[in-house]
Structure 1
Amino acid sequence: MRSLAIGTLLLAVPAAAARERASAPPPLPIVAIVEQQKQIRADDIARRGRYGQLPLATRAELMTKQVEILSLVEDKASTAELSRREQVEVFNRLEWIEATVNDTEDERMICRIERTLGSNRMVRTCRTVADERKEKERAGRSLDRRPRQVGGREI
């Protein structure tokens, strides 16, 4: 009986690791990311295509995001060489650039690495900006409906 329990446990650990790997995005070649950012920078400087109408503040933020991406991927061959947090940071910055250029802010994905409740296990969660905003509004409404008390009396 004890060996059955240990065997089950040994099988469960690789299965959990496989699920974690399956939820991670496939590694991307850094060369492709760098080339894409160079093309965007050239189009932005020349004010070609979608970059011609970007406001000055947005263009400045775009360049900042590009510098952050390039510094994170420097001297790497693939995103697999980045830490989990760095992968999420690069993903979020690339998503910001994509959403800004295509004017699809509500569809932009935001990923975070969060601790699972009641566990030390870290999980990558991704939601759209629209989903985040709805959740924040829902949380605010539920706080507003909560009765408030001061000194044992409701106010």
Structure 2
Amino acid sequence: MNVYKWYYLSRWLYLHHVPVLPFIIKALIRILWAAVIPYQADIGKGSFLGYQGLGIVIHKRCVLGENCHISQNVTLGGTSGYWEVSKLGNDVHVGAGANIIGPVTIGDHCIIGAGAVVITDLPANAVAVGVPAKVVKIRDDEQQN
């Protein structure tokens, strides 16, 4: 059983108002995989957490679209002073060690390079790298396949 299935079980229990079990599963995820994947976060179907979610930290109000690929040691979260947190579109690939912080919206089909720090919104089909992350390319339909 992988970490996404554990998350999905805790999310299902949370949405069906089962009291203590989601918290216990969240704690087990923290112990077994050194990851913070809260049941309150909305992670879309088909998403993949690389290396069993090793080192991934997701804020509880984050929204991830469907079929996202989140590599190890990625942080998706907020920043002090803002209630809003990161939102990822569908089919987003986030490289290892990247940080997406603050009220940032990532468009569909984006690629974020390893180690990038995203602090501004990214349009759909963008490829972003660097600290702070900058869009280096907008992919067309042929490059997405």
The normalised TM-score by structure 1 is 0.27
Higher strand content, 1 or 2? 2
The normalised TM-score by structure 2 is 0.28
Bigger radius of gyration: 1
